[in-house]
Each structure stands twice: as structure tokens, then as C-alpha cells.
Amino acid sequence: MLPVAALVPASYGLVLVAMSLEPVGAVATGRTLNVVLGVVILRERLTPVRAAGLAAVAGGVLLVSA
């Protein structure tokens, strides 16, 4: 449990650093890719709620990138 408690804030900090170095669209695309990789590689279930969230993030990336 302790490693998770340390890694979650660290991952959030890394996302903030990435957003300061790269365009937000590129960072958001990478974070969205994690959901896709989880479904494909780890065989996680793609629930309707998760699919809707994935579509919303992808649409937001398109709006920010345009």
C-alpha cells in the first residue's frame, strides 16, 4: 500500500512537468493511451463509462490541438 501512496502523487507531478514542457494535447494523448494500453495489454474491461471518458478526452485533445 505504501508504494502506491508514494507513486500516485509522483505520477501527478510528472504529468505537471510534462505539461510545462510539451503541449497539453500531446500530454493528454499520452495519458489517454494508458487506458487503451490497459485494455489491450492488461486485458482490462472497457466499460461504457470508461469508453465515454476516453471519447471525451480524445475529443478534448482534438479541440485543444486545432
- Tens digit of pLDDT per residue, the chain (66 long)? 668 788 888 888 888 999 899 888 788 777 777 777 778 788 888 889 988 988 887 787 788 776
Q: How far apart are CA 18 and CA 45, in angstroms?
A: 28
Q: Which pLDDT score is estimated for 53?
A: 83
Q: Which pLDDT score is estimated for 66?
A: 66
Q: Which pLDDT score is estimated for 1?
A: 60
Q: 25, 20, 28: which is closest to 66 by C-alpha?
A: 25
Q: Which pLDDT score is estimated for 29?
A: 76
